[in-house]
Amino acid sequence: MGILEILTFPDPRLREVSKAVTKFDDSIKQLAADMVETMYAAKGIGLAAPQVGQLFRMLVVDTRPRDESGSRYNYEEMTELEKKITQPLVIINPVIIKGDGKTTFDEGCLSVPGFYETVERFEKIQLQYQDVNGNKHVLETDGLLAICLQHEMDHLEGKLFIDHISFMKSKKIKDQIKKFGYPTKDDKDDEKENTKKEKVEA
Ligand code: CO
């Protein structure tokens, strides 16, 4: 199948609660491979199955710096815990079994492209999940990987990062998108000139 279409807000499928994966068959493995390919093609750091219209509790992440734009997230900025984890990761039926501390990050989302808002998350998490073969694992991480995993897990509940910000800010963004659609590539280029920090979407 290859690269999949990424749904954008206000698509109603992004508001559904996704179902647990119970059969770890070839179609799940194919979906995982396609999601990784789609995430890389979109230059995202994470992607959840409902973002491609598949309502399964499944997500992929890769928060490592990329060759084309190493500046977006420096290797030196990765935490020791993050560096220990092999990425890309395919995470199925995830559950946070422990969350510690608080951190904030300017989050973006492939399903709300061009918008970035500061969201608060656990700083460090312990996550129980299954791999594509159904084997159970527990990982512990912090840094951008922990933030990204929490962002993707929200998608499985039909929740978006713009639901975490103040009601007025959230309403403003949602109304703007519904009225005018998403910023064009030219708008984004203008914005980039004004912001030093590279933004990431997931
Ligand atoms: Co997202």
Q: Which residue has the tokens 């460090």?
A: 124
- 76 strand-pairing partners: none
Query: What is the helix (H) or strand (E) element at residue 126, kind and residue range?
Result: strand 117-130
Q: What is the pLDDT of residues 160-184, one digit of tens each?
A: 999 999 999 999 999 999 999 998 8
Q: What is the mean pLDDT of the chain?
A: 91
Q: Stretch 118-144: mean pLDDT, rounded?
A: 97
75 pLDDT above the threshold of 80: no
User: Choosing from 82, 107, 152, 201, which is the catalytic residue?
Assistant: 152
Q: What are the contacts of 184-188 at 24+ separation with CB within 8 A? A: 187/114, 188/114
Percentage of the chain beyond pLDDT 70 is 89
Under the banding of pLDDT at 50, 70 and 90, the label for residue 123 is very high
136 pLDDT above the threshold of 90: yes
37 is catalytic: no
Measured in Å, residue 135 CA sits from the centre of ligand 1 at 25
Measured in Å, residue 6 CA sits from the centre of ligand 1 at 10
Q: Which residue has the tokens 């993707």?
A: 152
- 46 strand-pairing partners: 61
pLDDT reported for residue 184? 80
17 pLDDT above the threshold of 80: yes
pLDDT reported for residue 196? 42
Q: Stretch 122-129: mean pLDDT, rounded?
A: 98
The dihedral sign for the CA sequence 34, 40, 108, 191:
negative
pLDDT reported for residue 173? 96
Measured in Å, residue 200 CA sits from the centre of ligand 1 at 10
Q: Stretch 103-131: mean pLDDT, rounded?
A: 97
- 107 strand-pairing partners: 117
pLDDT reported for residue 70? 46
Measured in Å, residue 38 CA sits from the centre of ligand 1 at 13
Measured in Å, residue 25 CA sits from the centre of ligand 1 at 26
Under the banding of pLDDT at 50, 70 and 90, the label for residue 78 is confident
pLDDT reported for residue 47? 98
Under the banding of pLDDT at 50, 70 and 90, the label for residue 1 is low
Under the banding of pLDDT at 50, 70 and 90, the label for residue 113 is very high
pLDDT reported for residue 49? 98
Measured in Å, residue 192 CA sits from the centre of ligand 1 at 20
| Helix, strand, coil shares, percent, the chain, to 5 | 40, 25, 40
Under the banding of pLDDT at 50, 70 and 90, the label for residue 72 is very low
